[in-house]
Structure 1
């Protein structure tokens, strides 16, 4: 059988995937998606990839929005594994010269830059708005007659580079991206940090195209990822070297990130309670709506 086509985000979190491929014979075609989870959802539904390793909120929002149409069949994918146990720290960034933006409070009603509709950067915009009490009381309570958006515009920019350029040009006022990936550009002075927000859930999940959830190649992938994670945990210096050379992070930032991240011993399976909690928060934030879209149990092909 042909190797699985596996989509992943080419950031520091991908290090165990690299180790599984380099040291344990992971037989897969690894396809980078620097634009993130929303792009992988599109690729899964277009049968361009077979498996995606991406952000929990993106996967859940993609299935929970009710996008189950003849075009997408049954949503296109299911959750089969857990890749990262810890939350993700999203840094909130603006342009270096945007002196009018002084705090998170000043972002209300602004233009938020996102990679794609449905991506983590899009979803977390609503989570931030909920945390800051910018949402009207009716948001997410079961009706799509939603109140006015907390932002004046969602500016779709696809890539991290475009997001950085947009906050400097004024096309967008702010965006959210993973902390350590953003930090290099704070250090260089290209963009400025406004604040941060953590996901209220474990941050990364593994999905497979719906027709492949029982495929033995998926089981093999998960087993190889387990080996890559074990190697990562036991060879931190090799991890630092890889992250600080192949992935363009500083050695200092690589070491700091290692203190914050925890991968599972076994990637197979997803905790139903984690997905239920994610849906509950996304409903509260106005991303999902009660009674619409796929329910939590149906999203998961393999439970823990």
Structure 2
């Protein structure tokens, strides 16, 4: 039995992994796939890949591109979720902020530097024509629970996070959503340590075949909307809306999309250079 460690955020996007693990599909193929939740997101997963704590990560596109360029010895082997991520712009319910313009120069809560919440704060600032040097300030809050504390006690002013994940917090009157900032590219990719690819390509192909079979049929699973709503404590109508706008992928992210993402990150001074497609990706098939 080959031991393989994989990580991702504990959100509805990754339910397909839970289902295939629960069904024992990897063990039936001689693979002991062990899932680890990363509630603090992309930055923590990048660190885990570097430290060999995990072999595979289901990770935000922009975050892993940045970290590979910064020296993470990993490669993107596939797009996982093809559609953009709908980042909600959140403030504390009791705050005086009414729209995104009110947040100019205020402090953004981020899970960590290099995380999606950090990088998308730049995208949000660019979308609103802010001065990236003067109008962005950050407070590291680690995870969603940290964001709730930070916004409630005023150590941070706003927080970007996937809007369906935070919808229950909005419904409870803890956050208010005052805007949206969709990522301008497919949101989640599958990244794998290069050493693992070199030594375990057959196992990687098996893992991808299993998960791709499930994601290609995901929306047809009986009562999948109710399963998601119950497991992630979400409103059924919100889940149905999310399912209607979300598409999974079974293909490697294309060169044009990688170049577009790099150009955006470079123009925002988030990455120091634009690198070749082959430096960031590995074609499994």
Q: Please, what TM-score do these two structures have when normalized by structure 1?
A: 0.87
Distance in 2 (CA, whole Å) between partners of 1:38 and 1:217 is 26
> Are 2:177 and 1:177 equivalent residues in the alignment?
no
Distance in 1 (CA, whole Å) between partners of 2:35 and 2:262 is 29
1:71 corresponds to which residue?
none
In structure 1, list runs of 5 or more residues that go unmatched.
69-74, 137-147
User: Residue 154 of structure 1 is aligned with which of 115, 134, 138?
Assistant: 138
Q: Please, what TM-score do these two structures have when normalized by structure 2?
A: 0.92
Distance in 1 (CA, whole Å) between partners of 2:222 and 2:268 is 37
What displacement does 1:2 show? 2.6
Which protein, 1 or 2, shows the higher relative CO under an 8 Å CA cutoff with sep ≥ 6?
A: 1
Distance in 2 (CA, whole Å) between partners of 1:150 and 1:236 is 47
Matches within 5 A, 1:104-253: 104-135=100-131, 148-151=133-136, 153-214=137-198, 215=200, 216-235=202-221, 237=223, 239-253=224-238
Q: Which of structure 1's runs of 4+ aligned residues deviate more than 6 A? A: none
What displacement does 1:197 show? 0.6
Residue 272 of structure 1 contacts residue 303 of structure 1 at CA under 8 Å; is this kept in 2? no
> Are 2:51 and 1:46 equivalent residues in the alignment?
yes
Residue 5 of structure 2 contacts residue 36 of structure 2 at CA under 8 Å; is this kept in 1? yes
SS of equivalent residue, structure 1 residue 94: strand
User: Residue 290 of structure 1 is aligned with which of 273, 277, 285?
Assistant: 273
What do the CA deviations read for 1:103-130 (whole angstroms, capped 9, x no partner)? 1111111111000110000000111111
User: CA separation of 1:303/1:122 partners in 2, compared to 1, >3 Å: closer, same or farther?
Assistant: farther
What's the C-alpha RMSD, in Å, of the aligned pairs?
A: 1.7
Distance in 2 (CA, whole Å) between partners of 1:194 and 1:98 is 11
Residue 270 of structure 1 contacts residue 303 of structure 1 at CA under 8 Å; is this kept in 2? no
2:22 corresponds to which residue?
22
Q: Which has the higher helix share?
A: 2
Residue 15 of structure 1 contacts residue 232 of structure 1 at CA under 8 Å; is this kept in 2? no
Q: Give the number of equivalent residue pairs.
A: 278
